[in-house]
Amino acid sequence: MTTASYKPAELLICTASRLMDDNATAFIGTGIPMLAASLAQRMHAPNLVAIFEFGGTGAILEELPLAVGGESTFHRAIAAAGICDVMETAQRGFIEYGFLGGAQIDPYGNLNSTVIGDFRKPKVRLPGSGGGNDVGSLCWQTIAIMRHDRRRFVQQVDFVTTPGYLSGPGAREAAGLPPGTGPYRVVSNLAVLGYHPDLKRMMLLATQPGVSVEEVVENTGFELVIPDHVDTNPPPTSEELRILREEVDRDHYYI
């Protein structure tokens, strides 16, 4: 059962949540990924192993964390380690998904969360990498969650904070990054996107409810790969919204 009454943030959370498989390991960042992971554990992925930057591994997210080092990220966890330990875990190939954000993304999934404009004299200085570079370099597949407009979806990022497929096929491997790793999905308020298996360029997979293919194209600052068939992403169900509002974020910290 679906409902038409939902907020844009709730759509992003529910869409991201559905990408989290049961029994998978996922590197979770602050904000929407936390809510998505908590929702996934309650809906369809009770054995999702959520991994947080400050060392919480496999926490049961009964209380919504406010930061990646909060006590909830260690609640009933299978391990309480540290930053170096979880980064080593990713380097050894044990983390399947990494959730990321950024101010800019380009056709090959490179992300910028460092500066807008020239690095030495930027128009805007952003928070920087944090663990973003490590996650994008070492997790098997990364999922970016972003608002969708031409300022963010750009032909070339001003700074590569987190590597995607860099300049195209073979570039990650040539840079020394683990073969078989790289961007997997982009979840935006307009669409769900993936990457062409040969070209490594961003490809439209599904539009969000009420959004046309033309709207996605108009709000993207580079040429998307458009397949013959583009799905329509289903809206949040009433059960997803109930759990999200009454259990996951019952104190309305985020929504």
* pLDDT higher than threshold 70 for residue 209: yes
Name the residue among 136, 140, 87 with its Cα closest to residue 108.
136
**Which amino acid would we find at residue 142?**
T
Q: How confident is the model at residue 193 (pLDDT cuts 50, 70, 90)?
A: very high
State the pLDDT at residue 31: 86
Name the DSSP class of 73.
G
Contact 208, 11 (CB under 8 A): yes
d(CA 123, CA 112): 14
Dump pLDDT digits (tens) for 84-114: 999 999 999 999 999 998 999 999 999 999 9
pLDDT band at 254 (very low <50, low <70, confident <90, very high): confident
Numbers of helices and strands, H then E, in the chain: 7, 14
Domain 8-248, CATH: 3.40.1080.10
User: How many residues would you count in the chain?
Assistant: 255
**Over the stretch 108-156, which tens digit does the pLDDT of each residue have?**
999 999 999 999 999 999 988 888 999 999 999 999 999 999 999 999 9
Q: Does 62 participate in catalysis according to the annotation?
A: no
Taking 70 as the threshold, does the pLDDT of residue 214 lie above it? Answer: yes
Contacts of 57 (CB under 8 A, 6+ apart): 49, 50, 51, 77, 78, 79, 80, 81, 86, 89
- Of 238, 244, 227, 242, which Cα lies nearest the Cα of 192? 227
What pLDDT sits at residue 2?
52
Express each pLDDT in 57-66 by its tens digit: 998 988 888 8
Query: In terms of Cα–Cα distance, which of 76, 67, 184 is closest to 136?
Result: 184
Q: Which of 10, 53, 96, 240 is catalytic?
A: 53
